[in-house]
Amino acid sequence: MDYSCLRLRFGKDRSALPKVVGNAESLSMLASELGVSMPETGPSKSEWKSLREWGESTATFKGKLDRLENAIRELSESHLPSLSIMLGPLLAARLCVEAHGRMRLARLPAGTVQVLGAEKAFFNHLKTGAAPPKHGHIFMHPWISRSPRWVRGKIARTIAAKASIAAKVDAFEGEPWTKAMVEQIDQKIEEIKAANPKPKRRSR
């Protein structure tokens, strides 16, 4: 069976596939819809029924999740405009919830914002002396997650400092940040990576 057409149709996002499966009346219709050849041995009626039910339930759940995410995005962009434009509305909302409110988030020092969501690792550091966490939820942002591991700590500190300022702007209803301001942060991140192209050698 040639799956190249599936890659062309769905790309990396396979979320639409369950809906296609759930809407297909038969395996032959599904194969035709997807543009693939029929397998030599198809599923039984009960197996096909289970497969369709899976597709329908997954598509329904995906729809509910999308609606919930959209509601969170709107709420975050309304109450945390600066933090949302900097980190994205979902990550901004996650930090706000972790801090137990917009005002409490604004009062946290940058170092605490940096490790929000990494409480277990932090307490393990205090208890066992293990290395302290370099980042918490903010690791989800591509600025950190897609950067080389040896600069993630530096980038996390920079982002946390800026996020702390953005949170204060939002909490005290200052002038919301603009895309131009976020682009300046992005430029700063690129400068950090350019200044640290390779990991530093550890002294023996």
Helices (H), 80-203: 81-87, 89-98, 102-107, 110-115, 119-128, 142-145, 152-171, 179-195
Residue-wise pLDDT tens digits, 35-50: 666 666 777 778 878 8
- Contacts for 5 with CB less than 8 Å, ≥ 6 apart: 34, 35, 36
Domain boundaries, the chain: 4-69, 80-195
Provide the CATH topology of domain 80-195. Serum Albumin; Chain A, Domain 1 (1.10.246)
Let me know: does 141 contact 84? Beta carbons within 8 Å.
Answer: no
Spell out a b/e string for 186-196, using b for 16 or more CB atoms within 10 Å of the CB, else e.
eeebeeeeeee
pLDDT above 80 for 201: no
Q: Residue 140 has what pLDDT?
A: 93
Please write the tens of the pLDDT for every residue from 171-193.
Answer: 999 999 999 999 999 999 999 99
pLDDT classification of 204: cutoffs 50, 70, 90: low
Entry pTM: 0.76
Structure token digits, residue 134: 């370099």
Burial class for 107, CB neighbours closer than 10 Å (0-12, 13-18, 19+): middle
Residue 141 pLDDT: 96
DSSP string, 11-44: TT--TTHHHHHHH-SSHHHHHHHHT-PPPSSPPP
Q: What single-letter amino acid sits at 129?
A: G
> How many C-beta atoms lie closer than 10 Å to residue 105's C-beta?
26
Q: How confident is the model at residue 118 (pLDDT cuts 50, 70, 90)?
A: confident
Distance of CA 73 to the CA centre of its chain: 13
